[in-house]
């Protein structure tokens, strides 16, 4: 067993796959669940809800739509979200119309977008007629059009997200469509966390952003544009910060701006976290340095598998050194890599001392007198880690 193989064996993780990475969460609902899943796998989480959900239990539009359906029964009801369907029934109960609405729905064909909506429908004592395996509204639309909708009255429980072409296609095919607006997405009451997340993303303080709804993605892009930061945000998402979406509909606003996204095959929070567990470690830089295996993550370094948190200034220096591993990097260049350091090269020495302490192995970084610093790269082992 050679030295590098022993290092590989020693590097078996004693930490979560996301240790050393920071993940931004833009979700308004189920954010705690997503954050917990990420933290259990070692990630640091920065939460900034890009939107808030406003229930419309007292809204005249929802009441009018409900009365309209009670007066004239629909042929088909399309339920799109569990929270929305439950909210509709609860609002009807509040108006004294709950039983009448359930009686009406028992006599019509109910389509559910996915399993969570099916659960809400069954909890209300109803049974869905059909649900797509893909949880895609496009598949729901295909089924409706395939069976023919001319002359049919179709109620669509809206859920605050855009349904590109859905209602328009049904109407073009001859259906009468009644929208049931149960809740709306609104900007957050406190925009400060969103601005903090934007600044952190642009400054590469996060390694990934997660999106669980298209409106959240659109809202973050809109806020960046309002602040004049959209080009910087897009640059970060296109080069350094991973955009992870729960599904293809959620990804649309980002893809419209040319941002590549990753998404799970199953549109769930668990699979979304699994995608991050695969993608983020795969993007980390791995180098053989002074007989050690070094893996550089967002705010930490793995040294032979041991997690070493590194302060931001130290990470800035380390990334500057890693751009040319084994080569001497001048103090003046390292100074430019330090945010807010000014012109005092002593700041480089101070940050370098703290970096070496954080790494726990001083020989990883060599001082070259009167010239600068270099990583003590092991050239013979370099190809083993794909850094030719």
Whether 10 shows a pLDDT value over 60: the answer reads: no
pLDDT of the residue at 14: 64
In the predicted model, what is the mean pLDDT of residues 157-164? Answer: 67
Q: Which has the closest alpha carbon to 298: 12, 32, 42? A: 42
For residue 32, what are the contacts with CB-CB under 8 A and spacing of at least 6?
none
Distance of alpha carbon 109 from alpha carbon 157, whole angstroms = 14
| H/E segment holding residue 295 | strand 292-296
Considering the domain architecture, whether residues 170 and 246 belong to the same structural domain is answered as no
Distance of alpha carbon 80 from alpha carbon 115, whole angstroms = 10
235 found inside a domain: yes
260 found inside a domain: no
Last residue of a domain, one of 184, 201, 219: 184
Write the DSSP assignment of 61-102 as a string of letters: HHHHHHHHHHHS--SEEEE--HHHHHHHHHHHHHTT-HHHHH
Considering the domain architecture, whether residues 45 and 130 belong to the same structural domain is answered as no
Domain of residue 319 covers 285-380
Distance of alpha carbon 299 from alpha carbon 316, whole angstroms = 10
Tell me, what CATH number does 79's domain have? 3.40.50.10090
Distance of alpha carbon 369 from alpha carbon 388, whole angstroms = 27
Considering the domain architecture, whether residues 58 and 172 belong to the same structural domain is answered as yes
pLDDT of the residue at 365: 93
For residue 169, what are the contacts with CB-CB under 8 A and spacing of at least 6?
141, 145
Considering the domain architecture, whether residues 151 and 97 belong to the same structural domain is answered as yes
Distance of alpha carbon 352 from alpha carbon 315, whole angstroms = 10
Distance of alpha carbon 212 from alpha carbon 217, whole angstroms = 8
Whether 135 shows a pLDDT value over 80: the answer reads: no
DSSP 16: -
Considering the domain architecture, whether residues 160 and 98 belong to the same structural domain is answered as yes
* % of the chain beyond a pLDDT of 70: 90
Chain-wide mean pLDDT for the chain?
Answer: 88
263 found inside a domain: no
More confident: 270 or 15: 270
| H/E segment holding residue 281 | helix 269-283
Please state the domain count of the chain. 3
């Amino acid at each position: 067993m050679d030295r590098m193989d022993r290092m590989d064996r020693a590097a078996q993780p004693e930490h979560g796959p996301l240790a050393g990475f920071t993940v931004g969460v833009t979700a308004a609902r189920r954010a705690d669940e997503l954050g917990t899943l990420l933290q259990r796998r070692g990630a640091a989480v920065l939460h900034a809800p890009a939107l808030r959900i406003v229930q419309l239990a007292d809204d005249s539009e929802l009441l009018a739509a409900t009365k309209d359906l009670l007066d004239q029964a629909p042929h088909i009801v399309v339920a799109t979200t569990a929270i929305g369907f439950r909210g509709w029934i609860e609002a009807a109960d509040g108006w004294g119309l709950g039983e009448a609405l359930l009686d009406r729905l028992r006599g019509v064909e109910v389509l559910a977008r996915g399993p969570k909506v099916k659960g809400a429908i069954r909890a209300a004592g109803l049974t869905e007629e059909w649900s797509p395996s893909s949880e895609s509204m496009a598949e729901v639309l295909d089924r409706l059009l395939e069976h023919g909708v001319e002359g049919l009255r179709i109620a669509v429980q809206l859920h605050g997200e855009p349904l590109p072409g859905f209602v328009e296609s049904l109407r073009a095919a001859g259906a009468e469509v009644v929208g049931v607006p149960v809740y709306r997405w609104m900007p957050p009451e406190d925009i400060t966390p969103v601005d903090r997340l934007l600044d952190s993303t642009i400054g590469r303080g996060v390694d990934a952003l997660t999106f669980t709804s298209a409106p959240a993605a659109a809202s973050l892009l809109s806020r960046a544009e309002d602040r004049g930061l959209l080009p910087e945000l897009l640059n970060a998402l296109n080069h350094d910060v991973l955009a992870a979406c729960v599904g293809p509909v959620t990804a649309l606003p980002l893809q419209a701006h040319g941002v590549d996204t990753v998404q799970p095959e199953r549109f769930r929070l668990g699979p979304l976290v699994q995608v991050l567990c695969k993608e983020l470690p795969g993007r980390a830089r791995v180098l053989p340095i002074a007989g050690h295996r070094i893996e550089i993550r967002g705010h930490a370094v793995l040294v032979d598998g041991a997690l070493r948190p590194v302060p931001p200034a130290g990470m800035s220096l380390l990334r500057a050194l890693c751009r040319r591993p084994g080569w001497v990097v001048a103090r003046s260049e390292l100074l430019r890599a330090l945010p807010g350091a000014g012109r005092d090269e002593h700041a480089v020495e101070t940050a370098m001392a703290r970096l070496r302490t954080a790494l726990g192995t001083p020989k990883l970084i060599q001082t070259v007198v009167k010239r600068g610093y270099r990583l003590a790269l092991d050239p013979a082992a370099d190809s083993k880690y794909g850094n030719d």
